[in-house]
């Protein structure tokens, strides 16, 4: 999965994708990715960029 | 819910912070704050900040540098009442997890703390060391569910390869252990001690970034320790 912004890959801990939220249910992983940082600095609290459901491959 | 107030004068000088329990009320502003239940230094360099987890209907709150005594507090998640204070070993940057066996607590970094995983049984009055980390090690992450616990044990030398353990029951009997993979190292380095979620039924999952704007989803089989990359 790929977010809608780009930047340095050197310091991964600075990636906004470190602040995902996830839960498991009925064998699946539900992943809520954080909002994409806005260039204007607009408030993004409470929003998100994507919700994924991932099921095991086996 | 609880609130942490900052920038209050400390007895020994410097900023301090306090923890107060917030109670919901029908009138504005919608809550009231109870008495101070914990005080701790608010110096950023001290690495001091309460750690908490919900479990068994209660909030468990721990602060290692609490001037009033090193303690673990059990607070009712419904009434906000402080139900219990438990003295546990001084654990720097602890990880907390809860399951049917009780509260699990371990240090999460290189530290002078005792190198053990502790368990406080429900209703218990003390913490028992039930699993000892090899090579003066510490926990990278801990996940607990039902009567199982998964812990990524890291030797003090961070260049050494860590080991993922599945432990079971109140005595933390080992079920399996496997060397950690490079993907798991990535999980810890980017997400820290709270990077994995899951249980014995659904598996253990994480979504570490692999680039600034990319991430992968990894899963650990809870019964074997086998790691798979499920999405990228």
Instruction: Give pLDDT, residue B96.
Output: 93
Instruction: Give pLDDT, residue B232.
Output: 85
Give the DSSP letter of residue B10.
P
Cβ neighbours of residue B44 closer than 8 Å, sequence gap 6 or more: none
Instruction: Give pLDDT, residue B198.
Output: 93
DSSP string for residues in B174-219: EEEEEEPPHHHHHHHHHHGGG--EEETTTEEEE--EEETTEE-EEE
Candidates B132, B134, B152; CA nearest to B142 is B152
Instruction: Give pLDDT, residue B147.
Output: 95
Two structure tokens written together for B197: 């979620």
The pLDDT confidence band at residue A2, using thresholds 50, 70 and 90, is: very low
Instruction: Give pLDDT, residue B13.
Output: 63
- Tell me the average pLDDT of chain A: 71
- Tell me if residue B25 falls in helix, strand or coil: coil
Per-residue pLDDT tens, chain B, 232 aa: give them.
555 555 555 555 667 777 888 888 899 988 888 888 887 776 655 556 788 899 988 999 988 766 556 678 898 888 888 888 888 888 878 889 999 999 999 988 766 666 899 999 988 888 999 999 987 888 989 999 999 999 999 988 888 899 999 999 999 999 999 999 887 787 777 777 667 899 999 999 988 888 777 888 999 999 999 999 898 8
Candidates A40, A37, A55; CA nearest to B219 is A55
Measured between beta carbons, which residues in chain B are less than 8 angstroms from residue A22? 197, 205-207
User: Given 3-state DSSP classes, what are the helix, strand and coil percentages for chain A, each rounded to the nearest 5?
Assistant: 10, 30, 60
Under an 8 Å CB criterion, which residues of B touch A?
186, 189-191, 197-199, 201-203, 205-215, 217, 219, 228, 230-232
- Better pLDDT: A4 or B197: B197
| Contact state of B215 with A27 under an 8 Å Cβ cutoff | no
| B151 neighbors B117 (Cβ within 8 angstroms) | yes
- Better pLDDT: A14 or B67: A14
A8 interface with B at CB cutoff 8 Å:
yes
């Amino acid at each position: 999965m790929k977010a809608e912004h780009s930047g340095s890959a050197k310091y991964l801990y600075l990636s906004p994708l470190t602040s995902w939220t996830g839960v498991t249910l009925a064998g699946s992983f539900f992943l809520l990715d954080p909002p994409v940082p806005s260039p204007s600095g607009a408030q993004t609290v409470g929003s998100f960029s994507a919700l994924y459901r991932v099921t095991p491959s086996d | 819910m609880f609130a942490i107030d900052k920038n209050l004068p400390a007895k020994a000088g410097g900023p301090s912070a306090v923890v107060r329990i917030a109670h919901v009320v029908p009138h504005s502003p919608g809550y009231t704050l109870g008495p101070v239940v914990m005080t701790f230094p608010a110096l950023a360099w001290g690495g001091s900040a309460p750690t908490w987890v919900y479990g068994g209907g209660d909030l468990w709150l721990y602060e290692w540098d609490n001037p009033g005594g090193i303690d673990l507090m059990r607070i009712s998640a419904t009434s906000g009442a402080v139900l219990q204070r438990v003295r546990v070993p001084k654990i720097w940057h602890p990880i907390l997890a809860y399951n049917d066996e009780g509260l699990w607590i371990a240090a999460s970094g290189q530290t002078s703390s005792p190198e053990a995983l502790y368990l406080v049984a429900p209703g218990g009055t003390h913490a028992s060391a039930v699993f000892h980390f090899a090579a003066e090690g510490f926990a990278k992450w801990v996940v607990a569910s039902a009567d199982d616990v998964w812990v990524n044990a890291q030797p003090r030398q961070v260049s050494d390869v860590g080991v993922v353990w599945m432990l079971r029951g109140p005595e933390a009997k080992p079920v399996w252990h496997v060397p950690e993979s490079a993907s798991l190292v990535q999980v810890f380095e980017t997400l820290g001690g709270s990077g994995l979620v899951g249980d014995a039924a659904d598996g253990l999952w994480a979504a570490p970034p692999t680039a600034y704007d990319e991430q992968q989803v990894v899963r650990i089989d809870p019964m074997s320790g086998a790691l798979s990359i499920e999405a990228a």
